[in-house]
Structure 1
Amino acid sequence: MVPRPRTEDLGTSPRPEIPEPVFGAPDRLRGTVVGVVITLIAVVTRFWDLTHPTDKGTPVFDEKHYVPQGWQVLTGGNWIEHNPGYGLVVHPPVGKWLLAAGEWMFGYGPMGWRFFSAVAGVAIVLAIYLMVRRLTRSTLIGALAGIFAICDGVLFVQSRMGMLDIFQALFVVLALAALIADRDQVRERLHRAYLQGRIAQTPYGPRLGFRWYRFAAGVSLGLACGTKWSGIYFVVFFLVLALGFDVAARRAYHVPRPWRGVLRRDLVPSAASLAVLPVLIYLATFAFWLRSETSVYRYVVGTEVGQSGPFAWVPAAFRSFWYYETGILEFHEGLTNAAGNHHPWESKPWTWPMGLRPMLYAIDYGPDQCGGDDCVRAQMLVGTPALWWLAVPMLAWGLWRLIFRRDWRYAPVLVAYGAALLPWFTTIDRQMYYFYATAMAPFLVMGLALCCSDVLASAPRGQNSEKRALSVLAVSFYVALVVVNFAWLWPILTGAPISNDMWSNQLWLPSWT
C-alpha cells in the first residue's frame, strides 16, 4: 500500500509525493468576467463589416465553391449538394451544412455565407482562452492567449470567409479542449482513489469509469473529419496524446505498473472514443447521401461497379459509398504539380510556420474604391508577423521545456501543431495553399502564451523586484506589438480601401507579392 502524504507536505515539499490537487484555474469569478470581455472583443472584430469584400456581390476566392454548395444543400430538398462543374463533391458535408444554416437565416448573400464562419471564429477564441487558462491555472495567461487569437490574421480572415477550414479548426480545438479537461478529471479521480487507499489494490491502478470529456473529444474529431479529410491526422495524434496523459497520470499517483495499467484499463475505451467514434460519426454525416435518390454516385452498382465479385455480399449502398470515397481520394491524389497543376499563390508546408507565402483572396483597383482617388481594396490571408515569425523559436522552446523540464503544458500544443503541419510533408508534390495552415494557428498562439507565462515565471512575485518589472515590461511590450501589428494589417485583412503607397507598405516580403 502506498502511504498517503501528509497535508503539510503537499504545500511545502519541493517534490510532493503526489501532485497538488488543483484541477483548473481557481479564480472562477474573475475568469468568467475576463472570458466575457475576450468573447465580446472577438464578436466585434469578427462581425465588423462582415459583408465585405465581395466580387461584385458574389463570393470571393474559394467561397465560389463552398457557398453555392451550401445553397444546394439548403434548397435541393435532400440536404445534399451536387457539383455539376466537376461531377464530384470532394469534401464531406458538415462544413457545408453550417454554411447552409447561415444562408437559411440571412439568405444567399455575404452575411449568410459568412455568419457561421464568424461564429466559429468567436468560439475558437473563447476555447483558446479557456484551454490556456486551464493549462496554466492562470486567467492572465489565458487572457493573453485570447488576445493573440483575436489578433492573428489567419484566424481573423478565415472567420470572415465562407470556407470550410475555420469549421475544421473549431472542431479540432474543441477536441483538444475536451482532452485537456479529461486530463484534469482523470487526475481528480485518481486523487480521490489515492486518498482512499485504492491506488495499489491492483498493479494496474483503479478503473476510471466513463469519461465524458474523452467521448466529447471523439465527437469533435468526427465532425472535423466530416468537414475535411485532414481531420484524420488529429485522430491519430490526439489518441497518442490521450494515452500519454493516462500514463503520466498513473505514474504521478504511484500506480505500480502504469504502462500496463493504461494498456489494460485505458487503451480500449480510448480507442473506442477517439478512433472508432470519429469514424462512425464521419459515416453518419453521409446519412442524407445514403438515403437520397439524387446523390452523386449513389447508384453506381451495376454501371460503374459490377454486381458480382468477392464483395457482392456487401450492400449496394455501401459499395457505392466506397466507390464515391475512392473517387474523392483519386481526385486529391491527382492535384499534383507533376500533373501540371499550378497556382500563382500555392505554397509548401515549410513556408507555413512563418507565413512566408500568404494568399490573395480579393483585389480591386480604381478611383471608385475610395471617393475619387486611386486606391486598392485587397484582402489577404496573412498571419500576423509578430506572432507567426516567432513560430520556430516557440517550437524549439516548447520542445526544450517538454523534454528537459517535463513541462507537460507544451505537450498538447506541440502534438496538435504537429498534427496540423507534419503530415503535409508526406505529399510534397501536391498542390497546397496557406489556408491549409488555419488549423495550426490556434496552437501557435497557445504556445506563445505559454512562452509569455515562462517569462513572467522567471521572476516570481516578491523576488527580485527589478527582474520582475523587466519580465512584466517585456511581456507587455510584446502584447502591445501584436496588437499594433494586427491594427496595421487591418486594411488588407478586411479589404478596406487604401492608397497604392499604403498597399506597397503592407507587402513586407517579396514572397507576399
Structure 2
Amino acid sequence: MPAVGGAPALQHRAEDTFALIGRPPATDRLRGWVVTAALTALAALVRFTGLGRITEDGGTPVFDEKHYVPQAWQMLRNGGFEDNPGYWLVVHPPLGKQLIAIGEALFGYDGFGWRFSAAAAGVLTVFLVIRAARRLTRSTLFGALAGVLLICDGLSQVQSRMGMLDAFSAVFVVAAFATLLVDRDDVRARMARVVAEGRAGDDDYGPRLGVRWWRLATGVLLGLGCAVKWSGVYWLLAFAVLMLVWDATARRSAGVLRPWAGTLRRDVLPAVWAFGVVAAVAYLATWAPWFGSETGYDRYAVENDGLRPWPLVPEALQGMFTYAERVLQFHESLTTQAQGAHPWESKPWTWPMGLRPMLYHFESGPQIVGCGTDDCISSVMLIGTPALWWPAPAVLLFGLWRAITRMDWRWSAVLVGYGAGILPWFVNVDRQMYFFYMTPVAPFLALATVLAMAEVLGRRGMTRERRQTGLVVVGLWVGAVVANFLWLWPILVGAPITQEMWEMQLWLPSWRQ
C-alpha cells in the first residue's frame, strides 16, 4: 500500500478532515497569533524585570546556582565541556549548563548573564503553553487563559529567573508535548484523506502513514530534555505510549479492521526510531564538545582509571558511560538517610498543592532600602501561586474522571504529562527531593486548569444563564490567580518589604524554616 503523507496529505480541506475525526480547529488564526504575541511579550516583561538584581554577597550566585553557573562559565571558556567539576561534583548532562553559558557569553558573568537563558526558556514555555492549550481546546480564549495562568505561577516565575536547569527541562518537555499534539492532528488528517478516498478498508491493518516530521521533532526535543536532566526519560516513555495509543485510536476511528494490530505492525518500529534512535542521537549531539576534547572530565577514563576496555565499544563512549555512572552514584547517595534532611526538602505528596516551598534568598538589615523603614527584608521564595496550586487535587481528580468515563483524550494527554513529572518520585521517597522538581509539571497544571475552566464555562448551546454563570466563575478564578500573584510578587523577585509584610506573606507554617 502506498504511503500517505507529505504535502498531498495536507491539501484536502481542514473542515473535511475534522468533520470525520474530531472537533474543527480554531479559525481565528490571526487573532490567535496576535494574542500569543501579546502574552509572550508580557511574559518577557515579567520574567526579565530586575533579573540580575538579586545575588549573594559580592555578586555571587544564590542557592543551587552556585553549582551550575560556574560550571557553565568553565564550559564557556573550554568550548562547551567541563574538565574540573567543583568538589568532583558531577550531577547532570551538559546541555543545561551549555545554555546557561550562552547567556554568560552574551552578557557576562553576572546575575543577568547567568540567568538570561533560563528567563528566555521561561518565556518560550509560556508561548508553547498558549499554542498547546489553543490546540487542545480549539479556542484562542482558553489558549490565552493558559498563558495568563503560567505567567502568574510563582514557581514558574522564580525558576525562570534562576541559573539552574529546571527551566530548560520545562521548555523541552512542553515543546515535545506541543509537537506531539501537532503530530496527532496530522495523523488524523492523513487518515481522513484515506477515508475520503475509500482506502481505509484496503488492508486489515490500515495504511502506512509515511514520514511523520512532527513525531521526529518530538523525539529530538525529548532527547534534548534528557540532555538537561535524566528525568526527561520519564516523559520520553510516557509520550511514546501516549502516541501509540493515539495512533491506534486514529486507525479505529477510520474504520480499520484491526487497529491495535495495525499500530503494532505499522507504528511501533517508526516510534522506536523517533523516540529511541533519534532521541539518542540528539542526546549524544550535546556531548560533541566533550567527545572532541582532550581534557574533558572522564574523557579518557579507560586509560586514566585503568578500566578494562569493552569489546566493540569506542573508549570515548565508554568514558561517557563512566561519567554517567558517577552521576548515577551521586543521585543514589542523595538520600535523607545518608545525607540528612535538607532544611527545604519536601516529598512528592506535598507538591500538587505546593505545601513546602523553598527559600532561595533572604537578606535583612539597614543595607536593604526601599520599604519605608530601617529594617527591610529582601527574599526570594519558590512558591506556587496558591490560587492556582491549591485547587489542583480537585482539578486533577475531575480530569481523571473525565478521562476514564468520557474517554476524553485531552484530559488523558495532560494527565500523562503531569503524571510523568511526579509519579516516578514516589518510587524512592527516602531520596532528597525539592519542590523545584515540579517546574516542568507546572505547565501541565495550567493546561489542566484551563480544561476545567472550559467545563465550568460550558458548551455553546447551553442556556444564557448557564453560560453567564460559568463566565463569572472563570473570571473570578483567573482574577484570583492574578491577584494572588501580584500579592506574592515581592517575595518572588526580592523586592524590599517590611518585617510586617514578610510575616503576612507566609500563609502556612510549612512555608517557614
Go from structure 1 to structure 2 and tell me whether the alpha carbon gap of 1:338 and 1:21 turns closer, same or farther (over 3 Å shift): closer
Equivalent position amino acid for 1:176 in 2: F
- In the other structure, the counterpart of 1:33 is 34
State how far apart, in whole Å, the 2-side matches of 1:228 and 1:341 are.
23
State how far apart, in whole Å, the 1-side matches of 2:85 and 2:209 are.
51
SS in 2 for 1:322: helix
Do 2:92 and 2:228's aligned partners in 1 also have CA atoms closer than 8 Å? yes
SS in 2 for 1:439: coil
SS in 1 for 2:361: strand
- Residue 236 (structure 2) pairs with residue 235 (structure 1): yes
- In the other structure, the counterpart of 1:291 is 292
Of 64, 68, 82, which residue of structure 1 is paired with 2:66?
64
SS in 2 for 1:89: coil
Do 1:21 and 1:191's aligned partners in 2 also have CA atoms closer than 8 Å? no
Shift of 1:304: 2.3
- In the other structure, the counterpart of 1:344 is 343
* Gapped regions of structure 1 (runs ≥ 5): 1-9
Shift of 1:501: 0.6
State how far apart, in whole Å, the 2-side matches of 1:410 and 1:243 are.
16
Do 1:171 and 1:220's aligned partners in 2 also have CA atoms closer than 8 Å? yes
- In the other structure, the counterpart of 2:488 is 489
- In the other structure, the counterpart of 2:5 is none
Shift of 1:88: 4.0
SS in 2 for 1:360: strand
- In the other structure, the counterpart of 2:472 is 473
State how far apart, in whole Å, the 1-side matches of 2:408 and 2:40 are.
28
1:405-446 residue CA offsets vs partner (Å, 9 max, x unmatched): 121111111001010000111121111111111111000000
State how far apart, in whole Å, the 2-side matches of 1:18 and 1:435 are.
42
Do 1:236 and 1:275's aligned partners in 2 also have CA atoms closer than 8 Å? no
1:247-269 residue CA offsets vs partner (Å, 9 max, x unmatched): 11111111111001101111110
- In the other structure, the counterpart of 1:143 is 144
- In the other structure, the counterpart of 2:76 is 74
State how far apart, in whole Å, the 1-side matches of 2:400 and 2:311 are.
51
State how far apart, in whole Å, the 1-side matches of 2:56 and 2:19 are.
63
State how far apart, in whole Å, the 1-side matches of 2:354 and 2:22 are.
40
- In the other structure, the counterpart of 1:318 is 317
- In the other structure, the counterpart of 2:10 is none
Shift of 1:398: 0.6
- Residue 327 (structure 2) pairs with residue 328 (structure 1): yes
Do 2:71 and 2:85's aligned partners in 1 also have CA atoms closer than 8 Å? no
Q: Which moved more, 1:413-422 or 1:332-341?
A: 332-341
Do 2:39 and 2:147's aligned partners in 1 also have CA atoms closer than 8 Å? yes
Shift of 1:287: 1.9
Go from structure 1 to structure 2 and tell me whether the alpha carbon gap of 1:96 and 1:197 turns closer, same or farther (over 3 Å shift): same
Equivalent position amino acid for 1:215 in 2: L
Shift of 1:353: 0.7
1:94-138 residue CA offsets vs partner (Å, 9 max, x unmatched): 111111111111011111111111111111001000001001110
Aligned length in residues: 494
Shift of 1:280: 2.2
Shift of 1:20: 4.5
State how far apart, in whole Å, the 2-side matches of 1:397 and 1:312 are.
53
- In the other structure, the counterpart of 1:91 is 92
1:143-177 residue CA offsets vs partner (Å, 9 max, x unmatched): 11011011001111111111100001100000000
* Gapped regions of structure 2 (runs ≥ 5): 1-14
1:57-80 residue CA offsets vs partner (Å, 9 max, x unmatched): 11111111111111111112x311
Shift of 1:303: 4.3
- In the other structure, the counterpart of 2:107 is 106
- In the other structure, the counterpart of 2:356 is 357
Do 1:335 and 1:341's aligned partners in 2 also have CA atoms closer than 8 Å? no
Go from structure 1 to structure 2 and tell me whether the alpha carbon gap of 1:20 and 1:439 turns closer, same or farther (over 3 Å shift): closer
Do 1:83 and 1:89's aligned partners in 2 also have CA atoms closer than 8 Å? no
Shift of 1:313: 4.3
Do 2:90 and 2:330's aligned partners in 1 also have CA atoms closer than 8 Å? no
Go from structure 1 to structure 2 and tell me whether the alpha carbon gap of 1:263 and 1:140 turns closer, same or farther (over 3 Å shift): same
State how far apart, in whole Å, the 1-side matches of 2:118 and 2:85 are.
25
Shift of 1:464: 2.0
Go from structure 1 to structure 2 and tell me whether the alpha carbon gap of 1:313 and 1:204 turns closer, same or farther (over 3 Å shift): closer
SS in 2 for 1:380: strand
Shift of 1:85: 2.8
Go from structure 1 to structure 2 and tell me whether the alpha carbon gap of 1:333 and 1:316 turns closer, same or farther (over 3 Å shift): same
State how far apart, in whole Å, the 2-side matches of 1:292 and 1:91 are.
18
SS in 1 for 2:439: helix
- In the other structure, the counterpart of 1:499 is 498
- In the other structure, the counterpart of 1:6 is none
- In the other structure, the counterpart of 1:129 is 130
State how far apart, in whole Å, the 2-side matches of 1:204 and 1:160 are.
50
TM-score calculated relative to the size of structure 1? 0.93
1:260-315 residue CA offsets vs partner (Å, 9 max, x unmatched): 1101111110121012221222122222212211111222224424346xx34432
Shift of 1:207: 1.0
SS in 2 for 1:429: coil
State how far apart, in whole Å, the 2-side matches of 1:472 and 1:313 are.
64
- Residue 91 (structure 2) pairs with residue 115 (structure 1): no
Do 2:377 and 2:502's aligned partners in 1 also have CA atoms closer than 8 Å? yes
CA RMSD of aligned residues (A): 1.6
Structure 1 runs (4+) deviating above 4 angstroms are none
Percent identity of the aligned residues? Answer: 53
Equivalent position amino acid for 1:178 in 2: T
Shift of 1:86: 2.3
Equivalent position amino acid for 1:224 in 2: G
Do 2:336 and 2:342's aligned partners in 1 also have CA atoms closer than 8 Å? no
